[in-house]
Amino acid sequence: MNAFARTADALAVAPLLNCLLREAADAAGEPSAGRAVHRLRTGGRLLRVRTGHRPSAPELWTGDTWQPLDHAALVALAAREMGAATGRPNAALVAEMAAGRTAVEALLAARARAAPPDDLWLRSEQALVMGHPFHPAPKARTGGGPPDVWLRYAPEAYARFPLVLLGVREDAVAGDGDTRALDTLGQAPPGYRLLPVHPWQFDLTRHLPAVRAAFAEGRLVRLGVTPWEARATSSVRTVHVPSAPERPDLFLKFSLDVQITNDIRRIRRHELRDVRRTDPPVTAAFRAMGGPAAWLSERGHRTVRGLEETFPVLVRDGLDGHLLPGATAVLGAALPEGFDGNPLDRVADPLSWWTAYLDSVVPPVLEAYARHGVAVECHLQNTLVAVDADGVPVQAVFRDTEGAKVVPGTPRETARRRLVYCLVVNNLTEIAGALAHRFPGAADELWPVARREFERYDKERGLPGTEELLAAPTVPAKANLLSRWIDADGTDPRYLPVPNPLALKGAAGQAS
C-alpha cells in the first residue's frame, strides 16, 4: 500500500468510525492508555479505538485477540450492524463508502501534483480532504463519473475552471430577484440573456432530450466559456467569481446532478421559491444587528423555462464589502481539518482564542433566532470566521439560504432542533475538539468558558431559549449513517440525543 493509499484509508476510516460509535455503540469502560473500548449494540462485539479528536486505528475483539480493521473491514462491520439494526440491506451505500475512500486517494494524489492557491481564504475552502467528520462517505461523488472526470472540478484538488456561457432566449428566461451581476459575465446576443453554467453539470446533462430540444428550438444557444476562471469552493457546486472593474466578487451556486453526502445536489423548483422567501428576512435580521456578523445574501436566481432544475444559477454576495477592515476570512470547517496558514497553528492562549471565537459566532446566531425567528444553518461549512492579523477571530460570516429556517414558515421546534445541532454539535464541538487536541491541558476549561459566555449573552441581551439550552441534558445530533442506510430524505434526516457539553456537571459548577 503506497503512502496515498495509507493516508486515504485513515482519512476514510475516521468519519465512518465516528458514525459507528455515535449511532451503534456504547462505551464499555473508561479509556485507558490512549484506547477506548465500545460495545456494538446489535452484535454485542467489542470495538477498540485509539482516542483523540478523531478516533483511529479500530480493532475488533475476536475472542482471543484484537484484530485491526482497515477501511474495507470497517465498512463490512458497519454493514452488518446497520443491517441487523434496521432489518434491511443497503448495497448502494456500501459501494458508496468504498467509492468515497477511492475518491480520497485520488484527491491526495491530485493535490500532490498541484500548487495550492496563494489566497488564505481559498486555501481553507479547498482543504477538506476528509470532509464531514460524521458521515459514512463524505467524499463520494456518486453519478459524477470516474476521478479523471470530476477531479478537474474538485475544490480539494485546487480546481479552477472557466464557466460555460449560454444564451437564453428572453421568452424562455425564468427567475426572480436581482440577477444583474450575471449580465457582467459575458455578452449575450440580441434577444437573449446570459446564463452561466457549471461545466460539470453541462457535461452531465447536455445529452438529455429536454436539453437537446432547447438548443434545437433556439431557446438556448452556446456562447463559449468565460475568459476567466471560477474557483471551486467547499460545497463543490458553488464557485467563487473574482471581482472585476464592473462588479464586486460574487458566488454562484448551481445544480449538480451528483450525489454528495446526503443528496443529489440538484436545486429543485421549490428550493428556488423558498430562497426568495427566506433570504429577505435573514438579510434583514443581520442588517438589524448592525454587525460585525454578516450574511451573504442570495439575491436572485436565473434559469430556463422547462429546464428550471437543470440549469439554475443562484447569485450570492461575495466577500467584498462584508469583511471588517484588515480581517481575513477562513472556512470554519477547515480549522479542525487543517491547512497551511491555519489560525489554530498560531494560537498561544487557547482559552482566549476560544472566547473570541464564541463571541464572534454565537451571539448573532442566537440573536437571529430569538429576536427575528431565523435559524441560520451555522454548521462549519456555512461559517466563515474572519481573523485579525494575529489570527484571532473578530467576525463571523454566514451563508447558504437553502439551509436557513424562518419561523413561522418552519415549525419552531424543527427550526430550533436544526439550529442547536448546527451550532453546538457540528460547530462548537468540532472547534473545541480541535483545541483540546492541541492543548490537552486546557481541555477541561473549554466548555465551562463556553457556558459562561452563553450566560453572559443571555444576561446582556435577554435571549429567550438560552436558559433552556443550558439546562438540557442532551442535544440533537444527526445520525448520518442511519439516515443514509434507510434512505431517509436528505431534508428529513434522523437525529439522536447526545450529551449536551454546555450542561456538563463540571461546566455548570464552574459557571455558578
Query: With a cut of 70, which residues of the chain have pLDDT below it?
Result: 504-512
pLDDT tens sequence across 446-487: 999 999 999 999 999 888 889 999 999 999 999 999 999 999
Instruction: Output the pLDDT for position 504.
Output: 62
Residue whose grid cell is 449573552? 457
CATH number of 3-111: 3.30.310
Instruction: Output the pLDDT for position 166.
Output: 98
C-alpha span between 22 and 6 (Å, rounded):
25
Mean pLDDT estimate for the chain:
96
Instruction: Output the pLDDT for position 505.
Output: 60
Going from N- to C-terminal start, the domains of the chain cover: 3-111, 159-317, 328-511
C-alpha span between 286 and 235 (Å, rounded):
23
77 close to 20: Cβ distance less than 8 angstroms: yes
N-terminal to C-terminal alpha carbon distance within the chain: 54
Instruction: Output the pLDDT for position 490.
Output: 79
Instruction: Output the pLDDT for position 388.
Output: 98
380 close to 302: Cβ distance less than 8 angstroms: no
Strand duo 259-260 + 263-264: pairing: antiparallel
C-alpha span between 509 and 512 (Å, rounded):
5
pLDDT tens sequence across 299-344: 999 999 999 999 999 999 999 999 999 999 999 999 999 999 999 9
Strand duo 250-254 + 313-317: pairing: antiparallel
| CATH class as words, domain 328-511 | mainly alpha
pLDDT tens sequence across 280-294: 999 999 999 999 999
